[in-house]
């Protein structure tokens, strides 16, 4: 069971952070964008507003951090399950 939770969480992080495929499929200036594409557009529209850019990055990372905190016990068990006998 812990290994399945680990795989689900790691896949969710991989999909959440995907940048290349959506940028190729969706392109720039579309109404529908993934979070990394929206952050890139947001960062490109401001010259040096690092506080706003970091706020957007934190808001994008918050769901993954919360998911990790709730499933931390299962993730650690899943990662350690194959290494300790």
Q: Which residue has the higher pLDDT, 10 or 83?
A: 10
- C-alpha–C-alpha distance, residues 8 and 5, integer Å: 5
Answer yes or no: is 85 within a domain.
no
Residue 73 has pLDDT above 80, yes or no: yes
Percent with pLDDT over 90 in the chain: 0
Residue 14 has pLDDT above 70, yes or no: yes
Domain extent for 65? 2-80
23-33 confidence digits (pLDDT tens): 777 766 667 77
Please report, in angstroms and rounded to a whole number, the separation of the first and last CA atoms in the chain.
17
Q: Give the total number of structural domains in the chain.
A: 1
Q: Which residue has the higher pLDDT, 26 or 52?
A: 52
Answer yes or no: is 52 within a domain.
yes
Contact 10, 74 (CB under 8 A): no
Average pLDDT over residues 40-67: 81
């Amino acid at each position: 069971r812990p290994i399945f939770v680990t795989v689900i969480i790691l896949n969710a992080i991989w999909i959440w952070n995907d940048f290349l495929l959506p940028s190729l499929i969706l392109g720039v200036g579309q109404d529908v964008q993934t979070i990394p594409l929206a952050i890139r557009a947001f960062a490109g529209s401001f010259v040096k507003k690092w506080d706003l850019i970091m706020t957007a990055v934190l808001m994008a990372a918050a769901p993954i951090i919360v998911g990790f905190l709730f499933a931390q016990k299962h993730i650690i068990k899943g990662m350690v399950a194959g290494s300790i006998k």
